[in-house]
Amino acid sequence: MAAKRALRIFGFSSLIAILLLVAWAWTPDLDRAVLEARYARPPSEFVDAAGARVHVRVSGSPDAPVVVMIHGFGASLHTWEPWADVLSRSHRVIRYDLTGGGLTGPDPTGDYTDARAMQVLTALMDHYGVGRASLVGHSIGGRLAWRFAGTYPDRVHQLVLVAPDGFASPGFEYGKRTEVPAVLGLMRYFLPKAVLRMNLEPAYGDPSRLADDVVQRYHDLMRGPGVRDALFKRLEQTILEDPTQFITGIRGPTLLVWGESDAMIPVTNAQDYLRRMPDARLVSFPGLGHVPHEEAPAPTVVPVRDFLNR
């Protein structure tokens, strides 16, 4: 009798514990108006680009050479803030949230392929009357930057690729869709901030540099209506293509920027680009990880500024 009672008590306690865990982990979307009030302060604006409502920030002189900055997976235009402050002194800087991320939110077409990203970027440049620009891209944004430069060489002046994605590696083969583990799909519903921090820390060479406000921003923006679902769709729709066909069409000079402690796309991958791009050079930073522009913006922006100003 006592054993049965203990079993019932244990079962009830376990159920309570599970319910408390679910309540702690449950992460609903945040209201878009709240997010825009928090993260779309001036000079933010929203423009139509190929049918998508795109969150954009433009800074610097309207008569200066143009730089377009493209962020990486799960990030937003805010990731470029320190670099943009410096580059805006000599350039007109256009930053935007990729469809599916930040405050741009889901693409109404449901298309998150690189080809669709080219359409949006082209429309965005046309909207601002930009015929030719330098592109700065990080990770997936780097892949979009070199692909755009190879597809539309007349529209790109210079390239800055920060730990760019693109070449095949173990588990990422050309011509195959990315296999997204089903367990990751739970992040659509469960994304405690502590769990997100654990996923962001490996992007830093020194995780202690990951500031609480940066984690808060990532967490808030990933809770935008439909954003998490859109991010997974981007992963599911990604099919790597051999970069060589695009890279050989690039005409302008290229600067590769890498953290030497990058655990996501190692600095050794820079050789893939250097072998195929005769007008490219690498600058790397000891101790920095996958997001050098966030982890140590002051020293890493210097070679970028000098390269764009040359």
Beta bridge partners of 96: 56, 70
Q: Is residue 4 part of a domain?
A: no
| Average pLDDT taken over every residue of the chain | 90
| pLDDT score of 284 more than 80 | yes
Say if 23 falls within a structural domain. no
- Residue 85's contacts (CB-CB under 8 Å, 6 or more residues apart) are 59
The band of 82, judged by pLDDT with boundaries at 50, 70 and 90, is: very high
Mean pLDDT of 90-109: 97
Residue 249 lies in a domain: yes
The answer on pLDDT for 14 being more than 70 is: no
Helices 212-222 & 193-200 angle (0-180, nearest 10): 110
Taking residues 279-303, what's their average pLDDT?
98
Instruction: Give the gyration radius of the chain's Cα atoms.
Output: 21
Domain-located, residue 119:
yes
pLDDT digit string, tens, across residues 130-161? 999 999 999 999 999 999 999 999 999 999 99
| Domain at 63, CATH number | 3.40.50.1820
Residue 81 lies in a domain: yes
pLDDT per position as a tens digit, 214-243 = 999 999 999 999 999 999 999 999 888 899
In the predicted structure, residue 25 carries a pLDDT above the cut 70: no
Task: Please count the structural domains in the chain.
Answer: 1
Domain-located, residue 173: yes
244, part of any domain: yes
Of the listed ranges 10-14, 151-155, 291-295, the least confidently predicted one is 10-14
pLDDT band for position 190 (50/70/90)? confident
Question: How many C-beta neighbours within 10 Å does residue 227 have?
Answer: 26
pLDDT for residue 171: 67
Q: Is residue 17, in this structure, part of any structural domain at all? A: no
Q: Residues of the chain with pLDDT > 90: what percent?
A: 80
Range of the domain at 66: 29-309
Rounded CA separation 282/301 (Å): 14
